[in-house]
Structure 1
């Protein structure tokens, strides 16, 4: 799988969304938005994806002064990703059974972490990362945890977290693998997210 498609995988796991398939061609469009403080990251995504996909220009979201986004033109490859990562009936994101074949490249992991990751840095020698996985089930997160171990040798756990009275799964990276995790994703981390890998 190309690096561009690997970025797509990370984006779908994170903040990116794919539109329902067109009836005739089974095409889909990718929609990515970020806060204005993360605009350099959004531009980086745009520059990378435009190498393969036809994209509309970045624009300010109407009614959201601090939000910027871009959308792709309808595309067959994106349609294939839509079929894999979305439930046909509910239209909700899912984790495909072959995620182990899709989430293999560090750039996918880095994009996913930049979108939904958090670094817990309570004191000088304490660093623990986690990834919000609210839209996935505990079973799906367990599968993701297995893939992180199999493909990247990263030890993680799936814990419960409560938000607005609801319980969601969250993937936590164990302390023993934090150095390896940061080493894997650091080359791809946009500078606006340096705080997520412990760089002030």
Structure 2
């Protein structure tokens, strides 16, 4: 039942709605554009394990605002159900959608986040790179939007901010890539436009001289050599991305402390190539990648992790 509630939270934060006509039981409904029929079918299949739903119905509406003059969509709705009735009185206490904060805090999970994102989210990609994630929250009050910001940051350490249109926006590349990692397992057919696949640079780059900043000073008489030797562990980090274990093993170890200890180093071709692949797929900076390599080198992360 927890996963049912988690799913419903995602839908009700997104495009789902519960309506109640006078003298009738509340009904939950889902409506999506024609192009997202596969997504609706997947949602229908999931919820069908818990509640009885109507068949998926085609609808065409006159719309002079668009070029072809009409819009097309598919929708379905629930039959009379005690769980939908319970959710109606939680989410619509005054016949207007109001976020039930205690209920959401109890049942919100990664599935909720992913369904909400698929319903009402957008991923902006430029030249193959994720630039921002948008979650539509215009219909909620400022207090409710602040609650949703707090909810996501407290659970996932991801910090959305509200823009002038009262939407939640995420610009930080590292947090975007983590957000996509979290939601990826719950993406349904037709929604993979809201994801980025891991990619790798095939050609070996040239060696590079750069500045590496770290939160702690290097306890060595030859710090640049020590850092370069540690960068061998970029191979381990890159393997963890391929094996889908990077976020479980390493992400939480990144520190929020200032990276004030600076070192000029020459990074060899293989290491800089691996560092670029890691950066491309996680949004980490060279400094953060070097820091993780030092943790591995100092045995604070074992090879078996």
TM range, smaller chain: 0.7 to 0.9
2:239 match: none
Contact residue 6 and residue 107 of structure 2 kept, 8 A = yes
1:139 match: 143
After TM superposition, list the pairs within 5 Å mapping 1:91-170 onto structure 2. 91-98=95-102, 99-103=104-108, 105-161=109-165, 169-170=166-167
Contact residue 61 and residue 72 of structure 2 kept, 8 A = no
* Rounded Cα–Cα distance in structure 2 between residues aligned with 1:21 and 1:78: 14
Q: Structure 2: 5+ residue runs without aligned partners?
A: 63-70, 198-305
Contact residue 14 and residue 120 of structure 2 kept, 8 A = yes
Shift in CA distance, 52/14, structure 1 to aligned 2, threshold 3 Å = same
CA RMSD of aligned residues (A): 2.0
Q: Are 2:84 and 1:81 aligned?
A: no
Query: Higher relative contact order at CA 8 Å, sep ≥6: structure 1 or structure 2?
Result: 1
1:20 match: 20
1:186 match: 184
- Deviation string 1:66-115 (CA, Å, 9 cap, x unpaired) is 21110010211112211222241xx3222223132232x21111110001
* Rounded Cα–Cα distance in structure 1 between residues aligned with 2:23 and 2:153: 38
Contact residue 6 and residue 107 of structure 1 kept, 8 A = yes
Contact residue 42 and residue 189 of structure 2 kept, 8 A = no
* Rounded Cα–Cα distance in structure 2 between residues aligned with 1:58 and 1:124: 35
Contact residue 15 and residue 31 of structure 2 kept, 8 A = yes
* Rounded Cα–Cα distance in structure 2 between residues aligned with 1:62 and 1:35: 10
- How many angstroms does 1:59 deviate by? 0.9
- How many angstroms does 1:149 deviate by? 1.0
* Rounded Cα–Cα distance in structure 1 between residues aligned with 2:85 and 2:21: 6
TM superposition score normalised by structure 2: 0.57
1:29 match: 27
* Rounded Cα–Cα distance in structure 2 between residues aligned with 1:154 and 1:190: 23
Contact residue 21 and residue 82 of structure 1 kept, 8 A = no
Contact residue 56 and residue 73 of structure 1 kept, 8 A = yes
SS in 1 for 2:158: coil
- The structure whose Rg is larger is 2
After TM superposition, list the pairs within 5 Å mapping 1:61-80 onto structure 2. 61=59, 63=61, 66-80=72-86
Question: Which of 46, 50, 55 in structure 1 is aligned with 2:44?
Answer: 46
Contact residue 7 and residue 111 of structure 1 kept, 8 A = yes
Runs (4+) of structure 1 moved beyond 6 Å? none
* Rounded Cα–Cα distance in structure 2 between residues aligned with 1:22 and 1:189: 36
1:166 match: none
